[in-house]
Amino acid sequence: MMSATTVHRRPRTGVVLTVCAMLAGMPLMASGKDNGSAQSVISAVWVAAKNRDIEALRPHMSEAFVYNFGDDPSREQALEQFRKNPRLFEALARAISGRCRPETEGEVRDYVCPQHFGRSVPKSVTIGPGYRAGFSKGADGVWRMDYFVTGD
């Protein structure tokens, strides 16, 4: 006589974390060889943006941060723009809330968010006002956000 046995499998941790991140609106990385610490920084920036927390955002920005193509790169000037226009926090969170993609081949040293920026996308995809954020791994091995801009 055979008895029915119920097998319970634990879901893979990566799958559970991915689903939780998607439900929370947190950013997801595209596949890449070196995305572990990049994912941490992008997630920390997303949390800082959602909380409108300039002090939490500051350490994740490079000193030569680009926020406007016409101005000199400056983290402090960019943070001043966030102070003056809190809607930038919402735009930043939106720009990095989906997948990001590597900008380089081989060893991944740069990511752009959202992943579809600069690529042709189906007309059904709404890409918003064109904000994008870039993250790179510096010579010191630390990942930072290098830019948050709109336009070409």
Is the pLDDT confidence value at 135 over 90? yes
Does the pLDDT of residue 19 top 60, yes or no?
A: no
Residue 125 lies in a domain: yes
Contacts 24+ apart (CB under 8 A), 87-94: 88/148, 89/49, 89/50, 89/52, 90/49, 91/128, 91/129, 91/131, 91/150, 92/45, 92/49, 92/131, 92/133, 92/148, 93/25, 93/46, 93/49, 93/50, 94/128, 94/131
Higher pLDDT, 40 or 6: 40
- Helical packing angle, 75-84 and 87-95, nearest 10°: 120
**CATH assignment of the domain containing 68:** 3.10.450.50
Mean pLDDT of the chain: 76
Residue 88 belongs to a domain: yes
* pLDDT tens-digit readout, 80-114: 999 999 999 999 999 999 888 887 776 778 888 98
- With respect to residue 1, please indicate whether it lies within any of the assigned structural domains: no
- 73 vs 10, more confident: 73
What range does the domain containing 48 cover? 27-149
Q: In this structure, is residue 16 part of a structural domain? A: no
Is 21 part of a structural domain of the chain? no
Question: What is the chain's Cα-based Rg?
Answer: 18
Distances (CA, A) of 116 to 10, 119, 127, 139: 33, 5, 8, 27
Helices 36-50 & 87-95 angle (0-180, nearest 10): 150
